[in-house]
Amino acid sequence: MDKKTVLSGIQPSGSLTLGNYIGALKNFPEFQNEYDCYYCIVDLHAITVPQVPQDLRKNTLEVLALYLACGLDPDKSTIFIQSHVHEHAELAWVLNTITYMGQLNRMTQYKDKSKKYNESINAGLFTYPVLMAADILLYQADLVPVGEDQRQHLELARDLAIRFNNKYSDTFNIPEPFIKKSGSKIMSLQDPAVKMSKSDQDKNAYILLLDDKDTIRRKIRRAVTDSENHIDYNDNQLGLKNLIDIYSSLTDKKAEEIVAMYQSKGYGEFKDDLAEVIIESLDPIQKRYKEIISDRVYLEQVYASGAVKAGRKASKTLRKVYKKVGFVPKTDITK
Ligand code: AMP
Ligand code: TRP
């Protein structure tokens, strides 16, 4: 039987946070043995908000090195840079023509980002979810591991696949989101009402995968809790709830177990232990990252062969799509 396909991507729009790790990246390697996996670094998405070109280049290689440091194996998964496979932009164009403006207007990520960057809203930010649908549908993905904030985008990808199939005949597989119950929405350490984000102005709001030990300890110590002075897991103590979620995701202990462990202890002791849990999880990743990031030849090999493998699958799907919509097939006279 054919293996099912997994696809996911992360934007190289800055250093990755603990939220990216717990919500997405940590789950990626788990699929490698059972699924045909595609993991991309979505640089085309990143330019929908302002980027400094040399930083974008640096961040792209940084995300690639983090993929590898977190356990993605280029012999098992196809790891590539989105802009290296031109079919993504091409399929996005075709999908744009079957997407309703109203659907895109309802996207909460677009609404949030357009508020934040209100001086410089571009059309790419509006059609961002269509490009994401193209990423997924090009590879006929069955499963897409993402954080909770991407659920609505996944719904659109499914909707566009169904619409295209109905209009032109069966072409795309209908993808399913893979969103874990716990850890799929890690919140800001400074305001547990908003998600942890690498673009937060306040550096204390997030932990980066590459933060050093003292920075991690300091940020966790400063994390906002409450004045109840009682360790519990509920919606009235959102700051604490978030810290317990982080602890739980990194240790596989259930929230109730953690509450029981710290029943008679103070917030200070819980936070100190949590900082060590985070450090222990990130330390091996950071060590591997340091080796990998300095090996530019290896990184180049990985993304170059990834682009070839991804391109093969992507071109096959795009050829089908072009044929179904009625484009005249290109004849290759160089052969
Ligand atoms: P992005 O950085 O927006 O490209 O996100 C990459 C992946 O990380 C996506 O699957 C997101 O859903 C996930 N993600 C981002 N922030 C968080 C968060 N605070 N908690 C859980 N998952 C997250
Ligand atoms: N939009 C996703 C995010 O911001 C990143 C992304 C782009 C993605 N293309 C994808 C995720 C395809 C999964 C599958 O997090």
For residue 192, being part of any structural domain is answered with no
pLDDT tens profile 281-319: 999 999 999 999 999 999 999 999 999 999 999 999 999
In percent, how much of the chain has pLDDT > 70? 100
Q: Report the distance separating Cα 36 and Cα 104, nearest Å.
A: 30
* Domain harbouring 278, CATH code: 1.10.240.10
For residue 227, being part of any structural domain is answered with yes
- Which residue's CA is the nearest one to ligand 2's atom 15? 10
pLDDT tens profile 319-329: 999 999 999 99
The verdict on 303 and 210 lying in the same domain is no
The verdict on 97 and 212 lying in the same domain is no
The verdict on 101 and 30 lying in the same domain is yes
Give the number of the ligand closest to the Cα of residue 188: 1
User: Which of 5, 6, 11, 127 has most ligand 2 atoms within 8 Å of CB, for mutation?
Assistant: 11
316 a catalytic residue: no
Would you say residue 189 has pLDDT above 90?
Answer: yes
Which residue type occupies 64?
L
The verdict on 318 and 277 lying in the same domain is no
- Which residue's CA is the nearest one to ligand 1's atom 8? 20
Contact 145, 38 (CB under 8 A): no
Would you say residue 64 has pLDDT above 90?
Answer: yes
The verdict on 269 and 320 lying in the same domain is no
Candidate list 76, 198, 309, 324, residue with the active-site label = 198
Rounded mean pLDDT, 257-272: 95
Centre of ligand 1 from the C-alpha of residue 20, in Å: 4
The verdict on 129 and 19 lying in the same domain is yes
The verdict on 68 and 168 lying in the same domain is yes
List helix spans (H) across 5-150.
18-23, 43-46, 53-69, 87-96, 101-105, 108-116, 123-138
User: Which of 136, 149, 209 has most ligand 1 atoms within 8 Å of CB, for mutation?
Assistant: 149
Contact 274, 220 (CB under 8 A): yes
DSSP 268-318: HHHHHHHHHHHHHHHHHHHHHHHHHHT-HHHHHHHHHHHHHHHHHHHHHHH
Would you say residue 1 has pLDDT above 70?
Answer: no
Domain that holds residue 225: 203-291
Centre of ligand 2 from the C-alpha of residue 135, in Å: 8
The verdict on 284 and 308 lying in the same domain is no
Q: What is the pTM of this model?
A: 0.96
Q: Report the distance separating Cα 80 and Cα 198, nearest Å.
A: 22
Classify each residue of 119-132 as buried b or exposed e, where b means 16 or more C-beta atoms within 10 Å of its C-beta: eebeeebbbbbbbb
185 a catalytic residue: no
The verdict on 303 and 259 lying in the same domain is no
